[in-house]
């Protein structure tokens, strides 16, 4: 696009923007002198231009709600978004207002125009519910149907007659047999269900009882050892000696550790028995290690709560768990799960003076054997899980699936490595890895068990491999684990299916005598099935956003109960080009599997041609809303979030896909209980492949696509050139925004904004922040934002390594994230 054409587009757009909406289309066509391309470009810009929404967004950018420690600086950025967004094809839609606010140079409102006041909480709430939407088009917007969601989804659903005009011969021949068969099948099915319920109940109860007795026996055994005079007196002496605050070497050389070890070996009959003793200061005062390297060091954080319970007088079973967070000086000699018993050592007054851990006596092997024997003897899958949904025992069935390549965990890593989540399909997708599995929901059985429920489920559900099973489970409140027993649906209901198959065969033989009538009925039945709308399995909850291309609803899957974002293409945009553009967005997003990229669940068209796309619903806040709520962000948090964004773009760039619209509004942040902050990149509507192929529809660049203040300079000069380093520039702008609390560039008109981005450096981050930013952080941000792409990081991998190199100096933990979300994550 040359300068003359750009100027003509701009002048015509500004003139049309001053006119009433219902007269804009006619005015543009009359002034274009038959230039259809000019008409399309200006109408596209008018369709995208929403003055009120842009004004609101600008006010949310500068000035922000001033957090403690920040000064308040007047700014015109509130007007910058309004003007600059007119030259961008934004892929994130918000609700369109009927009036736009215009402010003159004096700051006064023109007569007859009242500025709509919208609170920051209302904007944040609206933005938090937004998932994805499509570009606007003024003609389609003016004529857009505002009917209810149900009307939009099913307005064209076929209404075919369902009466059967023939086939009575088939009915007369088969109906008696069908009635007898159905009665027989129902009787057999009820008997099978009753027997299956009794079987699952009996096995679950017996396995739970056996595991509970095992835990009780081992706990009582170790408790008896702790009461032995040699052990009890030695520990009491060590506690008193430790209270005198001896040196670590003196504590290591104390002879009591040897006496305790010798006595435990005699009592257990196992030379490899292990033990550790902690006093009330949570300090290791005795150990089985020959060099006593762990003595004098505090208990590992992961085990502090268990030691505290023991010091209160409780007996605790630790694990089974693989040791990763251990006491300083102690290195585990096995990568297998470890199970130990922690008991209180009581003084003469009956109060606990220390805590004694005993392991190395084959506790896990014996516990695992109980579950293994139950699986083999009952021909089903029996395993144990902890309160986090992690399998803590072996499973012969899981081992068989793993050996066959149908499970994403190695056979020896199943115990304490396999989180029992539902992959959603039969026999697990090959693309599922450990990170993705942690993001999936728990299976029905384990989700119920971790809620401390004990029941039997005879309605089929998916197990950890996506297989259809029925099962029973029992939660053990004393030892905080659950026993789950499951049986495949095929084996569980085999008798009933045999009866059903027999009557089907008989019915098929009778059907031969009435083939003509039956064939007509079969065809009608197939037609009825085909007429069922594919979106009938979704329940519409609310509308999230709409634009010229489509509308997005929050929907719930009726069977799975899973929240989704359902995107529909408008009827008036159901032309070939728009359908291909809609296809491209869905296919590009569906090619990504990284958990930090939005997931596509379903896509297709109904029989009437309605295009739809079902996506992951992203709760939480966009990074724009995060800054709006709490101002500039801690450096450690910024690096933590940027690293996750790099993971999403690493996969996209590896697939030769450039996002082209990375900005705070297109990155959703939520709180993950185990990880902390969890960032997800969405809205791939402007993404383009570096190497186009025939299977993906390509759009030509007529105007700039994206949000100007986060676009790389080369995108303005050559919109059609695809370079992954443009995404790196946008990441730098997002980092600047998070660290400064303001965007790097803000201007009131697009030409000035473009000039700043192409030729000027942004204001120093420290000026906005009110404090100096460390040099490594500044260097990382400004290198991403270099004007020349060759001066930036060469690829996303290099940027990720640079972030990793400095993250250690700026920690951000899950606890830090939880504290922020507790304070800022809820609506006012």
At residue 812, does pLDDT exceed 50?
A: yes
Q: What pLDDT was estimated at residue 122?
A: 39
Is the alpha carbon torsion for 491, 496, 502, 505 positive or negative? Answer: negative
At residue 756, does pLDDT exceed 50?
A: yes
At residue 498, does pLDDT exceed 80?
A: no
Q: What pLDDT was estimated at residue 311?
A: 94
Q: What pLDDT was estimated at residue 175?
A: 65
The predicted model gives 399-422 an average pLDDT of 89
Q: Which domains does the chain have, with CATH numbers?
A: 139-143+534-616 (3.30.200.20), 227-362 (3.30.450.20), 380-490 (3.30.450), 621-824 (1.10.510.10)
DSSP 431-449: T--HHHHHHSPBPHHHHHH
Question: What percentage of the chain exceeds 70 in pLDDT?
Answer: 68
Question: Which has more pLDDT, 79 or 534?
Answer: 534
Tell me the pLDDT band of 550, cut-offs 50, 70 and 90.
confident
Question: Which has more pLDDT, 536 or 774?
Answer: 774
Helix (H, G, I), strand (E, B) or coil at 473: strand
* pLDDT tens per residue across span 759-798: 678 888 988 888 999 999 999 999 999 988 899 999 999 9
At residue 692, does pLDDT exceed 70?
A: no
Q: What pLDDT was estimated at residue 707?
A: 56
At residue 101, does pLDDT exceed 60?
A: no
Tell me the pLDDT band of 475, cut-offs 50, 70 and 90.
very high
Count Cβ neighbours within 10 Å for each residue of 76-90 and write b for 16 or more, e otherwise: ebbbbbbbbbbbbbb
Q: Distance (Å, rounded) from C-alpha 663 to C-alpha 712?
A: 12
Residue 790 CB contacts under 8 Å (≥ 6 apart), including other chains: none
Least confident of 307-316, 513-522, 667-676: 513-522
The predicted model gives 521-533 an average pLDDT of 52
Q: What pLDDT was estimated at residue 174?
A: 61
* pLDDT tens per residue across span 60-90: 444 433 333 333 333 323 323 333 333 333 3
How many CB atoms sit inside 10 A of residue 373's CB? 13
At residue 265, does pLDDT exceed 70?
A: yes
Q: What pLDDT was estimated at residue 22?
A: 75
How is residue 301 annotated by DSSP? G
At residue 165, does pLDDT exceed 50?
A: no
Q: What pLDDT was estimated at residue 582?
A: 73
* pLDDT tens per residue across span 421-467: 998 754 444 455 555 677 789 999 999 999 999 999 999 999 999 89
How is residue 670 annotated by DSSP? E
Contact 339, 317 (CB under 8 A): yes
Tell me the pLDDT band of 604, cut-offs 50, 70 and 90.
confident
> What is the chain's mean pLDDT, rounded?
76
Please check if 567 is assigned to a binding site: yes
Question: Which has more pLDDT, 136 or 5?
Answer: 5
């Amino acid at each position: 696009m040359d300068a003359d054409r750009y100027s003509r587009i701009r002048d015509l757009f500004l003139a049309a923007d001053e006119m009433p909406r219902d007269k804009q289309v006619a005015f543009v066509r009359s002034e274009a002198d038959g230039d259809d391309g000019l008409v399309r470009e200006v109408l596209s810009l008018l369709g995208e231009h929403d003055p009120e929404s842009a004004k609101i967004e600008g006010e949310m950018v500068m000035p922000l709600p001033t957090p403690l420690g920040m000064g308040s600086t007047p700014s015109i950025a509130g007007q910058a978004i309004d003007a600059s967004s007119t030259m961008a094809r934004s892929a994130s839609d918000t609700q369109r207002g009927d009036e736009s606010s215009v402010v003159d140079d004096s700051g006064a409102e023109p007569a007859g125009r009242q500025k709509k006041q919208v609170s920051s909480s209302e904007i944040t709430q609206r933005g938090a519910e937004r998932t994805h939407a499509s570009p606007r088009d003024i003609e389609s917007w003016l004529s857009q149907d505002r009917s209810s969601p149900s009307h939009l989804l099913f307005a064209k659903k076929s209404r075919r007659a369902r009466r059967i005009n023939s086939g009575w011969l088939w009915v007369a021949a088969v109906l008696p047999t069908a009635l007898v068969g159905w009665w027989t099948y129902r009787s057999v099915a009820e008997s099978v269900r009753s027997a299956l319920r009794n079987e699952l109940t009996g096995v679950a109860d017996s396995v739970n009882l056996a595991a509970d007795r095992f835990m009780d026996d081992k706990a009582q055994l170790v408790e008896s050892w702790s009461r032995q005079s040699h052990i009890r007196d030695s520990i009491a002496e060590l506690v008193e000696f430790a209270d005198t605050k001896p040196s670590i070497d003196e504590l290591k050389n104390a002879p009591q550790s040897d006496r305790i070890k010798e006595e435990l070996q005699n009592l257990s009959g196992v030379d490899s028995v292990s033990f550790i003793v902690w006093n009330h200061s949570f300090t290791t005062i005795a150990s089985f290690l020959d060099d006593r390297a762990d003595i004098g060091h505090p208990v590992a954080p992961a085990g502090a709560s268990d030691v505290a319970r023991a010091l209160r007088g409780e007996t605790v079973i630790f694990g089974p768990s693989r040791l990763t967070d251990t006491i300083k000086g102690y290195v585990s000699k096995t990568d297998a799960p470890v199970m130990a018993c922690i008991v209180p050592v009581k003084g003469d007054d009956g109060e606990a003076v220390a805590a004694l851990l005993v392991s190395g006596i084959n506790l896990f092997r014996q516990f695992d054997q109980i579950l293994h024997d139950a699986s083999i003897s009952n021909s089903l899958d029996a395993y144990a899980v902890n309160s986090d949904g992690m399998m803590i025992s072996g499973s012969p069935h899981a081992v068989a699936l793993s050996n066959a390549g149908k499970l994403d965990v190695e056979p020896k890593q199943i115990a304490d490595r396999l989180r029992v989540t539902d992959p959603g399909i039969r026999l697990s997708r090959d693309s599922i890895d450990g990170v993705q599995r942690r993001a999936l929901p728990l299976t029905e059985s384990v989700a119920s068990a971790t809620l401390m429920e004990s029941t039997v489920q005879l309605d089929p559900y998916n197990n950890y491999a996506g297989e259809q099973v029925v099962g029973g489970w029992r939660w053990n409140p004393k030892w905080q684990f659950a026993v789950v027993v499951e049986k495949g649906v095929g084996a569980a209901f085999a008798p009933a299916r045999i009866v059903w198959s027999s009557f089907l065969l008989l019915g098929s033989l009778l059907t031969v005598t009435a083939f003509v009538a039956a064939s007509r009925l079969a065809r009608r039945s197939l037609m009825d099935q085909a007429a069922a709308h594919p979106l009938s399995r979704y329940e519409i909850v609310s509308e999230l956003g709409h634009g010229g291309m489509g509308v997005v609803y929050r929907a719930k899957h009726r069977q799975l109960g899973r929240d989704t974002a359902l995107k529909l293409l408008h009827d008036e945009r159901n032309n070939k080009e728009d359908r291909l553009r809609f296809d491209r967005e869905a296919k590009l997003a569906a090619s990504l599997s990284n958990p930090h990229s939005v997931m596509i669940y379903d896509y297709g068209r109904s029989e009437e041609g309605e295009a739809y796309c079902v996506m992951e619903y992203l709760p939480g806040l966009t990074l724009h809303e995060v800054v709006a709520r709490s101002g500039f962000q801690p450096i450690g948090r910024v690096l933590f979030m940027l690293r996750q964004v790099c993971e999403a773009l690493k996969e996209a760039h590896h697939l030769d896909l450039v996002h082209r619209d990375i900005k705070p509004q297109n990155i959703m942040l939520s709180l993950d209980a185990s990880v902390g902050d969890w960032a997800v990149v969405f809205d791939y509507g402007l993404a383009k492949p570096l190497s186009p192929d025939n299977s993906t529809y390509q759009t030509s660049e007529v105007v700039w696509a994206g949000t100007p203040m986060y676009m790389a300079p080369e995108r303005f000069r050559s919109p059609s050139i695809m370079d992954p380093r443009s995404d790196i520039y946008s990441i730098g702008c997002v980092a600047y925004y998070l660290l400064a609390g303001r965007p790097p560039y803000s201007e009131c008109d697009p030409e000035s904004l473009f000039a700043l981005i192409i030729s000027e450096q942004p204001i120093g981050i420290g000026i906005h922040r009110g404090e100096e930013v460390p040099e490594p952080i500044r260097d990382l941000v400004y290198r991403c934002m270099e004007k020349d792409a060759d001066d930036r990081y060469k690829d996303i991998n290099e940027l990720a390594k640079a972030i990793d190199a400095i993250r250690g100096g700026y920690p951000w933990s899950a606890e830090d994230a939880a504290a922020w979300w507790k304070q800022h994550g809820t609506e006012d």
